Amino acid sequence: MQILKHLAPQLVYVAEDLSGPDGESVAQLRGWVGMTVVVAGEGLADTETETEAEDEGAREKRRWYERSAMVGLGKEVEVVDAVRVGEDWGKRVGGRE
């Protein structure tokens, strides 16, 4: 974390497992890096049905980035499925569409 703060890169990819409990590690990067991309290893959970999302038990099991205000399009943190990391890198860094 200290190295990233010192280098202040424009783009950082962080594995979901390294994002800390409730995204604490990612929150610490805010203001130090331009954009943080969390790589979700098991696929994104947005494939849940609406009834699962409304279920109280399912709500507690949601991942931190599904309920965080700092995550989303146009915000400091975005989430990418692990299967799509190469494609995402190509778009962000390589300028591919």
Dump pLDDT digits (tens) for 17-47: 999 999 999 999 888 888 999 999 865 545 4
C-alpha to C-alpha distances, 47 to 50, 53, 62, 81, 96, nearest whole angstrom = 9, 10, 12, 12, 26
- Domain with 63 in it: 2-92
Dump pLDDT digits (tens) for 3-19: 888 888 999 999 999 99
The structure's pTM equals 0.75
- Residue 54 within a domain: yes
Residue 85 scores a pLDDT above 80 = yes
Higher pLDDT, 3 or 57: 3
- Residue 29 within a domain: yes
- Residue 34 within a domain: yes
- Residue 30 within a domain: yes
- Residue 18 within a domain: yes
Which tokens go with 10?
């424009």
- Residue 97 within a domain: no
- Residue 76 within a domain: yes
For the chain, the domain total comes to 1
pLDDT band at 73 (very low <50, low <70, confident <90, very high): confident
- Residue 60 within a domain: yes
Q: Over the chain, what is the mean pLDDT?
A: 82
| C-beta atoms surrounding 64 within 10 Å | 18
